[in-house]
Chain A
Amino acid sequence: MGMMSPRIPRFPVDAKYGVSYLEGIVRGYRNGLLTGANYTNLTQCETIDDLKLQLGPAYGDFLASLPPNPSTSSLAAKTTDKLVAEFRYVRANAVGSLAKFMDYLTYGYMIDNVALLITGTLHERDTRELLDRCHPLGWFETMPVLCVATNIEELYNSVLIETPLAPYFQGSLSHQDLDELNIEIVRNTLYKNYLEDFYQFVNSHPDMVGTPTAEVMSEILEFEADRRAINITLNSFGTELSKADRNKLYPTFGLLYPEGTLMLSRADDFEGVRLAVDGIADYKNFFEAAGLGGGSGPGNMAGGTGSDGKTLEDMFYQKEMEISKGAFTRQFTFAIVYAWVKLREQEIRNITWIAECIAQNQKERIGNYISVF
């Protein structure tokens, strides 16, 4: 389908690197991802040190500085460092619309960081200390400037001026809202605006319209939008989030939009959500599997007591990984950058999970990681 488009090479054509240098790099990174065999080896480990050793080929340099038997969080931090380093390398070499595309990719993390700073400012913490906790992918140069703000109004104005997130605030949130609304509502409002903007971007930018990028990214973003809508609905049961407010958090695109989201906005329980997604075969299957997993209600999702069934969240991740894997079957598309970042994030989550299971000596559920290669 993508081949029908006359405009094919979309990676920067640079005199020095030639066509698609970055595509080559990213595909190389993708080949560096852990495979099913690697994961099997990881799950056999008895200690974190063994795990570290097994990760040697993939993460060697980054894990070298870890002390013996590191904590799982430091392991996660170091593996994230590698992703960040690689991402920054690609970003540094990207020009034109790819650069813009990659910036879009960071906005999601930026939203989390800004939400963190808002929380800190609201509770009158020293926000400078929070900078360390921010996700490095969502780092922007002027972020330390936001720490100067001492009250929420200043912060709001700084965010508007200093960050690319300004359009997501404008029109949806005022500085009073930051004060009054739950930070989660703020975050999800921003995220909804971000997703919509990103979707708009990949479908309207002249370099991407009608290319595999628009096609693959639309699929990914639509899925992301649906996942968020479903999650928000399920997670809002039993909270003070009203149906009207909930409705405002649903992205206005995606496979579920508009009928599904309308039904979601009216759903009162797990069953209501299940009915809302009935029209989409994939989601229907997820809900059936999750519903069979362990009774009814949203609490069915793999209780801490450890049911074997996959949770809805797990199935969403699985689906996301499959879409991401599929992105690599296409040529000349920016979507592989996005897919690679998502695959790497999943890999980090998998490593952390396996490390946790090993550290806590709870091997029964060690196989809960998601591997698509």
Chain B
Amino acid sequence: MSGAADREAVFPTRQSLGLMKAKLKGAETGHSLLKRKSEALTKRFREITRRIDEAKRKMGRVMQIASLSLAEVTYAVGGNIGFQIQESARAARFRIRTKQENVSGVLLPTFESYLTEGNNDFAMTGLGKGGQQVQRCRDTYARAVEALVELASLQTAFVILDEVIKVVNRRVNAIEHVIIPRTENTIKYINSELDELDREEFYRLKKVAGKKLRDNAALDAEMKLKREEKAARELAEGQPEVQEDASGPSDLLAAEEDEDVIF
């Protein structure tokens, strides 16, 4: 992506490299999971959209029939019975239940309508005239309300799913286009920094080793010179003592080399 600038502020250490690698792996798993979730939700969403379309068309038809049946009531009863109906209705006959449906972790409320049995508050309305029309009108309106409830249930699911799909897609996109590239960048950065450090270290070691070699050579030369001087002196006096001194510095050098390799 936008190169070295887009990475996390971490110290380029091996520990953070490990962390980043774990993070990348997590991000990839999360991405594929979310992607699948989003697909499942979208599938469901399309299905709901289709059903809403159907329900709306059905609604139109049912409402048309219902309002015509109301016209029939007006015709048969020959007046307005609205007030009477309102007053004689005591308890709801048509009720709804809410349930929750789990679609890939999203809880969608669904409304289920049912009729309470034996609850017919205005069964006798229009007893002398138009009673059948009143009852039939009630039935057609019950059907209309049923369609309405179905539609309401679908619409609610539609709104919720729409919201959830947006959130999930935002997450998928964020992971895909921000988190993963950034983590990759960070890993790349850490790797390059670590390589750089390695190279520096190697160079330093080489330098140290070279210096030590040089120093040793100089020491050796000095030693040799001293020994030669001593030999020359011994030749004059005779006392072999310097050999212990030479083994000391050579041990030290070996230990330092070992440590460097570990580091």
Residues of A at under 8 Å CB distance from B? Answer: 72-73, 76, 112, 115-116, 119-120, 122-123, 125, 130, 133, 135, 182-185, 187-188, 191, 228, 231-232, 234-236, 238-241, 249, 298-299, 301-306, 311, 313, 345, 349, 352-353, 356-357, 360, 362, 365, 368
Asked whether, in the complex, the Cβ of B127 is within 8 Å of the Cβ of A236, the reply is yes
Cβ–Cβ < 8 Å partners of A182 in chain B: 88, 124
With A184-B124, A239-B123, A360-B68 as known contacts, state yes or no: A353 contacts B131, CB within 8 Å.
Answer: no
Name the residue of chain B whose CB is nearest to the CB of A77: B80
With A187-B128, A352-B75, A356-B71 as known contacts, state yes or no: A133 contacts B137, CB within 8 Å.
Answer: no
Name the residue of chain B whose CB is nearest to the CB of A119: B87
Per the 8 Å Cβ criterion, residues 38-95 of B in contact with A are 64-69, 71-72, 74-76, 78-80, 83-84, 87-88
Asked whether, in the complex, the Cβ of B129 is within 8 Å of the Cβ of A360, the reply is no
With A130-B83, A299-B136, A304-B65 as known contacts, state yes or no: A353 contacts B71, CB within 8 Å.
Answer: yes
Name the residue of chain A whose CB is nearest to the CB of B80: A133
Q: Is B125 part of the contact surface with A, judged by Cβ < 8 Å?
A: yes
Q: Is B140 part of the contact surface with A, judged by Cβ < 8 Å?
A: yes
Asked whether, in the complex, the Cβ of B128 is within 8 Å of the Cβ of A313, the reply is no
Report the interface size class on chain B.
35 or more
With A73-B80, A304-B136, A360-B64 as known contacts, state yes or no: A235 contacts B87, CB within 8 Å.
Answer: no
Report B72 CB to chain A, min CB distance, Å.
7
Q: Is B169 part of the contact surface with A, judged by Cβ < 8 Å?
A: no
For the residues of B in contact with A, the DSSP-based class is: helix
Q: Is B104 part of the contact surface with A, judged by Cβ < 8 Å?
A: no
In Å, the complex CA distance between A187 and B120 comes to: 19
Closest 10 interchain pairs by CB? A235-B131, A356-B71, A184-B124, A239-B123, A304-B69, A184-B127, A304-B140, A119-B87, A353-B75, A123-B87
A-B residue pair count with CB separations less than 8 angstroms: 113
19 intermolecular pairs with C-beta atoms under 8 Å apart: A76-B74, A115-B84, A130-B83, A133-B80, A133-B83, A184-B126, A185-B124, A232-B128, A235-B132, A236-B127, A241-B124, A298-B132, A299-B132, A301-B132, A304-B68, A304-B72, A304-B136, A356-B71, A362-B64
Cβ–Cβ < 8 Å partners of B30 in chain A: none
The proximity string for B residues 94-136 relative to A, scoring 1 for CB distances below 8 Å and 0 otherwise, is 0000000000000000000000000010011111111111011
Residues of B at under 8 Å CB distance from A? Answer: 64-69, 71-72, 74-76, 78-80, 83-84, 87-88, 120, 123-133, 135-137, 139-140
Contact of B67 among A302, A349, A360 (CB under 8 A): A360
Contact of B130 among A123, A238, A313 (CB under 8 A): A313
Asked whether, in the complex, the Cβ of A231 is within 8 Å of the Cβ of B131, the reply is yes
Asked whether, in the complex, the Cβ of B131 is within 8 Å of the Cβ of A303, the reply is no
Cβ–Cβ < 8 Å partners of B130 in chain A: 313
Name the residue of chain B whose CB is nearest to the CB of A316: B129
Cβ–Cβ < 8 Å partners of A303 in chain B: 136
Cβ–Cβ < 8 Å partners of B67 in chain A: 360
Contact of B75 among A120, A135, A234, A349 (CB under 8 A): A349
Name the residue of chain A whose CB is nearest to the CB of B133: A313
Cβ–Cβ < 8 Å partners of A76 in chain B: 74
Asked whether, in the complex, the Cβ of A239 is within 8 Å of the Cβ of B72, the reply is no
Cβ–Cβ < 8 Å partners of A306 in chain B: 68
Cβ–Cβ < 8 Å partners of A356 in chain B: 68, 71, 74-75
Contact of A235 among B78, B84, B127 (CB under 8 A): B127
In Å, the complex CA distance between A267 and B67 comes to: 32
Asked whether, in the complex, the Cβ of A305 is within 8 Å of the Cβ of B124, the reply is no
Report A49 CB to chain B, min CB distance, Å.
19
With A119-B84, A188-B128 as known contacts, state yes or no: A349 contacts B78, CB within 8 Å.
Answer: yes
Cβ–Cβ < 8 Å partners of B139 in chain A: 304
In Å, the complex CA distance between A185 and B128 comes to: 9
Report B223 CB to chain A, min CB distance, Å.
119
Contact of A365 among B68, B80, B136, B137 (CB under 8 A): B68
Asked whether, in the complex, the Cβ of A239 is within 8 Å of the Cβ of B124, the reply is yes
In Å, the complex CA distance between A116 and B86 comes to: 12
Cβ–Cβ < 8 Å partners of A349 in chain B: 74-75, 78
Contact of B78 among A125, A345, A362, A365 (CB under 8 A): A345
Asked whether, in the complex, the Cβ of A304 is within 8 Å of the Cβ of B79, the reply is no
In Å, the complex CA distance between A122 and B84 comes to: 11
Asked whether, in the complex, the Cβ of B75 is within 8 Å of the Cβ of A236, the reply is no
Cβ–Cβ < 8 Å partners of B133 in chain A: 301, 313
In Å, the complex CA distance between A112 and B129 comes to: 12
Q: Which of B64, B74, B75, B80 has the most CB of A within 10 A?
A: B75
Cβ–Cβ < 8 Å partners of B128 in chain A: 184, 187-188, 191, 228, 231-232, 235
Asked whether, in the complex, the Cβ of B79 is within 8 Å of the Cβ of A135, the reply is yes
In Å, the complex CA distance between A120 and B140 comes to: 27
In Å, the complex CA distance between A298 and B127 comes to: 13
Cβ–Cβ < 8 Å partners of A241 in chain B: 124, 127
Report A105 CB to chain B, min CB distance, Å.
15
Contact of A304 among B66, B120, B126, B129 (CB under 8 A): B66
With A184-B124, A356-B74 as known contacts, state yes or no: A112 contacts B132, CB within 8 Å.
Answer: no
Name the residue of chain B whose CB is nearest to the CB of A228: B128
In Å, the complex CA distance between A298 and B125 comes to: 16
Cβ–Cβ < 8 Å partners of B129 in chain A: 228, 231, 313
Cβ–Cβ < 8 Å partners of A302 in chain B: 72
Cβ–Cβ < 8 Å partners of B65 in chain A: 304-305
With A135-B79, A362-B64 as known contacts, state yes or no: A236 contacts B72, CB within 8 Å.
Answer: no
In Å, the complex CA distance between A22 and B232 comes to: 171
Cβ–Cβ < 8 Å partners of B123 in chain A: 238-240
